[in-house]
């Protein structure tokens, strides 16, 4: 009986305890029971998961020291996620799961107030997990719960800070600034945890930086840096403050903060320490730090073994120093040293290539500059300002690179063609020796690499497969696979020396074979090898590669006068374009004069000869080539005027710019001329355009005027005048939109190949009637047009009329859509009678539509009338 009483007592006590631990009971026992279970069970594991996820983000983050560092050294994408468990980081998902479990099992929300003192920690964990998972809207919900139901909790101020951090991620910076300012203002009136105050100031500094209010950002970042005791955080905050001062133009304050970072030395990550030196160097004042002192500092940074991971940055800064003291060769060496260092900073590499491109450009090595700019463009971020600027520089060099390559190729080819057979053979034999030496070096290097690889694979094969880190992990780091094919995998075809050796071995065994089925059969030897002359056949029998035979190259040389003329024309055009580009776009008068004067020695055709003389005259007048060129300018001028008095160049020289009227803006002048062009006043357009082209010499409007004049000339004088005008624009205004347009139109005109002979009309079915009238008589045109409209009301049958421009003196009244000549002639005679349209001339011409096109293109109506009875 006594035993039963004891059991009942224990059960009763257990029930009392359980009842007292209910989440609905606001008792001391209940609060502490749920608080302990929340803190030491669920939240402990959740915080561990959060830290693991956070470490993953930090590992993937790389600071960009080219911009002001963010307060949070974390890698976030620009994407804002919505709730989707499948896309969440497993660590953050686990942290969120633990936080939710803690809330579900241990929350004590009684009468609108949370009684469990650990639930604020659970909601903070929930908000942080969602924040780091970039689910910002849901994160704000968690932080707001703490502020709404636990306003006096330990973590309420931190929850306010984190809510504003989340608002900033949502680009609500102004809201964040307002709320954080309100919070920081309470620091003197309420108890404030020191870490919370540091975090609030740093976050506020970041918010002001986000809205580009640098002065305000400096104040709060400075406060955060001064209060923190964590050295790594202190180093980061002081570095950011130094960057802010530098951006605000407060150089001295910036240097003070970078010095404070340097003074922390080994107490902070080495990155901050080295970068602080670099920032100080950028801000140096030559009055405070001489070139010798700066050189000593850079050398000291370079020679410090602890700085090896940053040698790329140090070498690049050293190169900039060399450029500043005009030691260009030393700068090139330093830039290349920087590029050879292991480097994750693509922006630094791009800057190095861009700087090397600028140096090559200044040295007139434009093709090399183009290659450097290509490398820089590939490394700069898409849509960045630097990428756009470098791409523009590279595009400006495209024409120079193209024409320099064409010039050298043509010069080389013509030089070889001018040699005797014996000289050519000696020339190619010397070239073949360089190829053989290159192939030998590649083969030797390939053999060494293959031997090293075989040795390493043998060593790997001795490691038991069940040993951790054994053969199943592949070759160790820094093997041939890693070095020879860096960034491309270990496939041996990526190793150029191995490929070269393989080609040599294949060729020595099989000779030259085409890439097709049954290539091993002797009958499948390449057509090139089968068709070679006896010398090559003998050499092939001994398996000598054709690239090692002078005859292989000699047989590929072009033959015949037509081929030689084509090469010479291409060479002349390249020299001319280079002269204009160097003169106009790159302002390199020395190179322009060299290309133009060399071109004159080739005795080019007139379309290049005349503008070359004129450009040399301009260069001489500007004294660009010194006294020698100035003295020759008059000779060039006299040659143009005396030998080509009717050319536009002679007209320009005979009408000094100072005597011409420059009234009206170039744009308004062009607009006026264009209206006249639309009204078919082509003769007036040509005359006025000629005057304005001379008047506005050097103005960007000139190529536009030239193109408009060319259109008018084509309409008035035919295809020949049109093509001459297009060629003139393409040659004299390279690099402009009008020159590109002119080149396209000229090529299109060439492709059309409109015949200049008339077609037989016996089988044609579409004809026109032509009446010739004076071009300048506007009253006559008006009278004919009015009477034609009246007559055509009754004529019908699809017959129409137009008044077309023909030449400066003659316009054509044209009747369209006749099926045969007889009907056309009958209607023409009917309309030309005095009682119909007396202003029409009695004579007319019936012509097929196809032949009318030829007449207009070549202005050959007289020729047609003479050929047709």
Task: Kindly write down the DSSP assignment for every residue of 46-93, as one continuous string.
Answer: HHHHHHHHHHHHHHT----TTSPPPSS-----S----S-GGGS-HHHH
Burial code (b: 16+ CB inside 10 Å, e: under 16) for 452-468 equals ebeeeeeeeeeeeeeee
Minimum mean pLDDT among 38-52, 553-567, 732-746: which range? Answer: 38-52
With CA atoms as reference, report the closest residue to 693 among 662, 737, 734, 647: 662
Beta bridge partners of 805: 811
Paired sense of beta strands 800-805 and 113-114, if any: unpaired
Res 608: pLDDT: 86
DSSP state of 476: P
**What is the average pLDDT value for the chain, to the nearest integer?**
80
Give the mean pLDDT of 789-802: 74
Per residue in 651-692, pLDDT (tens digit) is 778 875 533 444 567 778 888 888 888 888 888 888 888 878
Sheet holding 767-774, edge to edge: 800-805, 810-818, 767-774, 845-848
Q: Which residue has the higher pLDDT, 535 or 170?
A: 170
pLDDT beyond 70 at 72: yes
Res 626: pLDDT: 64
User: How distant, in Å, are the alpha carbons of 50, 431, 505, 740, 781 from that of 538?
Assistant: 77, 21, 20, 52, 82
Q: Is 439 exposed, middle or buried (0-12, 13-18, 19+ CB in 10 A)?
A: middle
User: How distant, in Å, are the alpha carbons of 441, 662, 703 from that of 710?
Assistant: 58, 22, 10
pLDDT beyond 70 at 695: no
Res 493: pLDDT: 41
Spatial distance between the Cα atoms of 578 and 512, rounded to a whole number of angstroms: 41
H/E stretch holding 774: strand 767-774
Res 318: pLDDT: 95
Spatial distance between the Cα atoms of 504 and 511, rounded to a whole number of angstroms: 10
pLDDT beyond 60 at 3: no
Q: Is 356 exposed, middle or buried (0-12, 13-18, 19+ CB in 10 A)?
A: buried
Q: 3-state class of 574 per DSSP?
A: helix
Spatial distance between the Cα atoms of 483 and 331, rounded to a whole number of angstroms: 27
Q: 3-state class of 511 per DSSP?
A: coil
**pLDDT-based confidence at 596, cuts 50/70/90?**
very high
Q: Where are the alpha helices (DSSP H) in 546-605?
A: 550-554, 561-584, 589-601
Per residue in 463-476, pLDDT (tens digit) is 444 433 333 333 33
pLDDT beyond 60 at 835: yes
Contact present, 815 and 769 (Cβ < 8 Å): yes
C-alpha dihedral sign at 89, 90, 93, 95: negative
Q: Which residue has the higher pLDDT, 125 or 541?
A: 125
Spatial distance between the Cα atoms of 34 and 106, rounded to a whole number of angstroms: 5
pLDDT beyond 90 at 523: no
**pLDDT-based confidence at 53, cuts 50/70/90?**
confident
719-724's contacts with Cβ under 8 Å and 24+ in sequence apart are 719/749, 719/754, 719/857, 719/858, 720/858, 722/749, 723/749, 723/750, 724/607
**pLDDT-based confidence at 370, cuts 50/70/90?**
very high
End-to-end CA distance of the chain: 149
The encoded tokens of residue 401 equal: 């690179």
Q: 3-state class of 304 per DSSP?
A: coil
Spatial distance between the Cα atoms of 320 and 280, rounded to a whole number of angstroms: 14
Beta-carbon contacts of residue 292 (< 8 Å; ≥ 6 apart): none
């Amino acid at each position: 009986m006594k035993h039963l009483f004891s059991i009942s007592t224990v059960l009763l006590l257990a029930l009392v305890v359980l009842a007292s631990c209910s989440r609905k009971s606001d008792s001391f026992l209940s609060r502490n029971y749920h608080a302990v279970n929340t803190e030491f069970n669920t939240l402990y594991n959740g915080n561990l998961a959060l830290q693991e996820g956070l470490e993953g983000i930090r590992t993937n983050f790389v600071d960009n020291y080219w911009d002001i560092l963010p307060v949070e050294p974390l890698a976030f994408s620009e994407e804002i996620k919505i709730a989707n468990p499948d896309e969440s980081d497993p660590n953050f998902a686990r942290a969120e799961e633990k936080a939710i479990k803690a809330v579900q099992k241990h929350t004590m929300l009684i009468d609108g107030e949370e009684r469990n003192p650990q639930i604020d920690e659970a909601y903070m964990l929930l908000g942080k997990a969602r924040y780091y998972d970039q689910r910002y809207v849901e994160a704000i919900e968690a932080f707001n719960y703490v502020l709404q139901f636990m306003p006096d909790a330990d973590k309420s101020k931190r929850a306010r800070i984190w809510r504003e951090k989340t608002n900033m991620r949502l680009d609500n910076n102004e809201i964040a600034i307002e709320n954080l300012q309100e919070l920081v203002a309470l620091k003197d009136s309420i108890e404030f945890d020191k870490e919370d105050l540091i975090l609030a100031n740093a976050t506020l500094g970041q918010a002001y930086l986000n809205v580009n209010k640098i002065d305000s950002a400096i104040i709060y970042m400075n406060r955060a840096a001064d209060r923190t005791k964590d050295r790594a955080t202190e180093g980061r905050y002081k570095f950011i403050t130094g960057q802010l001062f530098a951006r605000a133009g407060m150089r001295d304050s910036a240097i003070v903060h970078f010095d404070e970072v340097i003074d922390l030395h080994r107490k902070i990550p080495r990155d901050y320490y080295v970068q602080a030196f670099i920032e100080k160097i950028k801000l140096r004042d030559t009055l405070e730090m001489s070139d010798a002192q700066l050189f000593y500092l850079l050398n000291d940074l370079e020679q410090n073994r602890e700085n090896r991971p940053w040698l790329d940055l140090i070498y690049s800064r050293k190169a900039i120093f060399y450029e500043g003291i005009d030691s260009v060769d030393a700068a090139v060496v330093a830039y290349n040293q920087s590029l050879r260092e292991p480097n994750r900073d693509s922006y630094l590499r791009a800057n190095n290539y861009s700087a090397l491109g600028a140096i090559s450009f200044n040295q007139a090595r434009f093709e090399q500059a183009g290659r450097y700019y290509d490398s820089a463009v590939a490394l700069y971020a898409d849509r960045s300002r630097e990428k756009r600027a470098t791409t523009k520089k590279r595009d400006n060099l495209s024409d120079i690179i193209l024409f320099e390559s064409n010039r050298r190729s043509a010069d080389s080819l013509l030089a070889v063609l001018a040699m005797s057979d014996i000289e050519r053979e000696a020339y190619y034999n010397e070239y073949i020796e360089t190829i053989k030496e290159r192939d030998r070096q590649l083969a030797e290097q390939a053999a060494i690499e293959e031997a090293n690889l075989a040795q390493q694979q043998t060593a790997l094969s001795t490691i038991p497969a069940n040993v951790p880190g054994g053969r199943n992990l592949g070759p160790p780091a820094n093997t041939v696979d890693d070095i020879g094919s860096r960034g491309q995998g270990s496939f041996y075809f990526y190793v150029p020396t191995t490929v070269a050796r393989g080609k040599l071995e294949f060729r020595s065994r099989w000779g030259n074979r085409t890439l097709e089925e049954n290539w091993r059969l002797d009958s499948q030897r390449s057509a090139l090898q089968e068709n070679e002359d006896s010398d090559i056949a003998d050499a092939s029998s001994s398996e000598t590669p054709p690239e090692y035979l002078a005859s292989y190259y000699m047989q590929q040389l072009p033959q015949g006068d037509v081929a030689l003329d084509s090469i010479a024309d291409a060479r002349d055009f390249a020299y001319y374009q280079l002269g204009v580009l160097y003169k106009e776009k790159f302002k390199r008068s020395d190179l322009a004069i060299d290309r133009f004067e060399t071109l004159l020695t080739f005795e080019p055709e007139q379309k290049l000869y005349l503008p070359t003389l004129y450009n040399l005259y301009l260069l001489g007048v500007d004294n660009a080539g010194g006294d020698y060129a100035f003295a020759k300018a008059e000779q060039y001028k006299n040659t143009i005027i005396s030998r080509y008095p009717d050319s536009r160049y002679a007209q320009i020289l005979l009408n000094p710019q100072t005597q011409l009227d420059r009234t009206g803006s170039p744009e308004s002048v062009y607009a006026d001329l264009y209206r006249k062009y639309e009204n078919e006043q082509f003769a007036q357009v040509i005359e006025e355009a000629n005057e304005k082209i001379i008047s506005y010499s050097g103005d960007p409007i000139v190529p536009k005027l030239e193109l408009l004049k060319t259109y008018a000339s084509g309409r008035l004088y035919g295809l020949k005048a049109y093509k001459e005008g297009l060629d003139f624009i393409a040659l004299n205004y390279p690099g402009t939109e009008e020159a590109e347009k002119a080149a396209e139109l000229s090529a299109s005109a060439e492709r059309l190949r409109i015949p200049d002979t008339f077609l037989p009309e016996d089988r044609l079915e579409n004809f026109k009637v032509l009446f010739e009238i004076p071009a300048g008589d506007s009253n006559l045109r008006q009278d004919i047009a009015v009477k034609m409209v009246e007559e055509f009301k009754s004529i019908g049958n699809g017959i129409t009329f137009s008044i077309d421009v023909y030449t400066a003196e003659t316009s054509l009244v044209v009747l369209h859509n006749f099926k045969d000549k007889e009907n056309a002639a009958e209607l023409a005679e009917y309309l030309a009678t005095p009682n119909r349209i007396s202003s029409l001339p009695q004579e007319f011409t019936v012509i097929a539509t196809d032949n009318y096109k030829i007449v207009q293109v070549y202005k050959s109506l007289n020729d047609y009338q003479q050929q047709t009875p």
